Amino acid sequence: MDIIKGAPTAGLSYNPNDPVYWDKEALAQEMRRVFEICHGCRLCFNLCPSFPKLFDAVDRHDGAVDRLTAAEIDAVIDHCYQCKLCYPKCPYIPDDKHEFQLDLPRLLLRANAIRSKQRGISLRSRVLSRPEMLGRMAAFTPGLANWANRQPWMRAGLQAVLGVHKDKLLPEFHGESFQDWYRKQPQAAGDPTQAVLFTTCFVNYNNPDLGRDVIEVFARNGIALQCPPQNCCGMPAMEAGDLELARQLARRNVEALYPQVREGKKVLAINPTCSYMMRKEYAELLGTAEARAVGEATMDVCEYLFQLKQEGRFNRDFRSTPELVGYHLPCHLKAQNIGMRSRDLMRLIPGTTVKVVDQCCGHDGTWAMRKEFFPLSLLVGQKAFEQMQATQAAVLATDCPLAAVHFQQAIGRRPIHPIQVLARAYRQDGFAKAVEAPPPGPEEKAQSHAAS
């Protein structure tokens, strides 16, 4: 059997604070090394389109990685949507203390950052890497924003100007953000010293009901979640190659959250992408002890609730049951290696069976929104869509809010978050009506309230 050889070069660096990280020739050395290892291994051949792009390109050059063209390397970078699934599957990673120290997702992030620094950041990337800006703008006239997103002629213009695919289903906006709602609420009952909530941009502007359900579920478990000042986690900016913006956003979050962490509180993130970013990237991105502390204190909301269950403190006073749940396990949750805690919690509801769909849905941040990748994103997610439908469950669930939008795009039904499954189970007749349609948008809610 051939032994793969691939000791790190002098160009190895996954730390953007290291001058070597930004050295183009150092990057080229590492890319040649890592591409040769991946081409010889091929363990991750079926994980994302980036690997077939790499393997096919190297094969065309008879295995000579150093003959790859700039266009071929660009294709490998662009088809990596940072799902991170290759990292826990790879046998050569730093976390396993392997001598190869291979981290392909971070290598491709580095390549994209250097490329963006040289070529500039596109208008599309600048816009999509600022979800908070989009949320604040749309909040002034959410009905108009949602209406515009449904108009073919408006979407054609958006595709022409920004390169956002005209057929891509986009999240709806709300006039009252979660944080606006939260500030109006009296202090919730429960212990306020255990944890704080990182709501995420999506929950704040696009799905505030989810944030409210999180507050309710934790209150039922004796914990009053506080919501300190916060902004975008920085992952969209990092994926766009704008590391300076990612640093700024991460630094502000650390400054706001570190005092809470110093008091012994956990930071609970609703979105798996945000928890991954804070846990895995903040320490390298900022290089400070405070960033490491915030990362170490960050948990997924269901991961924390499952910890309460292990301690015998989880409230099991459920009053209704979904009976059957089709549950999609998001990539960024799998990449954190915490187990299927959302599934395990839903299983605690009496009379409930959870069927797990362990396939990538293909949304992956802003990748599925791009006009050149939207059709491929649906192809990537085809197995997930088919398996979710095959569950024949009246209630569908996923921890990833963007995955939920992509499922709605493909199968016409939007999953809810596992926390929302728990919230409904705590209520009498919480599942009187199965989840057959996406949650109503702001205009539909307004009409419903006016009618009543």
> Is residue 442 predicted with pLDDT exceeding 60?
no
For residue 85, tell me if it sits in a domain.
yes
Domain that holds residue 46: 19-119
At residue 445, does pLDDT exceed 60?
no
Q: Which of the listed ranges 407-411, 433-437, 443-447 does the model predict with the highest average pLDDT?
A: 407-411
pLDDT digits 0-9 by tens, 46-80: 888 999 999 999 999 999 999 999 999 999 999 99
CATH code for the domain in which residue 330 is found = 3.40.50
> How many angstroms separate the CA atoms of 59 and 35, rounded?
12
Dihedral, CA of residue 127, residue 131, residue 133 and residue 139, to nearest 10: 130
Per the prediction, the chain carries an average pLDDT of 90
What is the per-residue pLDDT across 212-263, written as a single tens digit (0 to 9) for each? Answer: 999 999 999 999 999 999 999 999 999 999 999 999 999 999 999 999 999 9
Name the least confident of 10-14, 131-135, 239-243.
131-135
Name the burial class of residue 152, with classes exposed (0-12), middle (13-18) and buried (19+) by CB atoms within 10 angstroms of its CB.
Answer: exposed
Indicate if the pLDDT at residue 121 is higher than 80: yes
Q: Is the pLDDT of residue 437 over 50?
A: no
Please report the pLDDT score of residue 142 as a whole number.
87
- Could you tell me if residue 410 is inside a domain? yes
Domain boundary among 92, 119, 146: 119
Q: Could you give phi then psi for residue 359, rounded to 5 degrees?
A: -140, 145
How far is 58 from 32, CA to CA, in rounded Å?
11
On whether residue 69 sits in a domain, the answer given is yes
The pLDDT value recorded for residue 436 is 43
Does residue 272 lie within any of the structural domains? Answer: no
Kindly state the average pLDDT of the residues 332-347: 93
Higher pLDDT, 266 or 442: 266
Sorting pLDDT into bands at 50, 70 and 90, what band is 3? low
Domain boundary among 119, 134, 166: 119
Residue 441 has pLDDT above 50, yes or no: no
263-277, 364-378, 419-433: range with highest mean pLDDT? 263-277
Domain membership of residue 2 (yes or no) is no
- How many independent structural domains does the chain possess? 2
End-of-domain residue from the set 70, 96, 119: 119
Domain-embedded: residue 247: no
Sign of CA dihedral 442, 444, 450, 452: negative
Q: Is residue 302 part of a domain?
A: no
The pLDDT of residue 5:
66
Residue 350 belongs to a domain:
yes
Least confident of 3-17, 170-184, 324-338, 435-449: 435-449
pLDDT class for 140, splitting at 50, 70, 90?
A: confident
Q: For 281-302, what is the mean pLDDT?
A: 96
Tell whether pTM > 0.85: yes
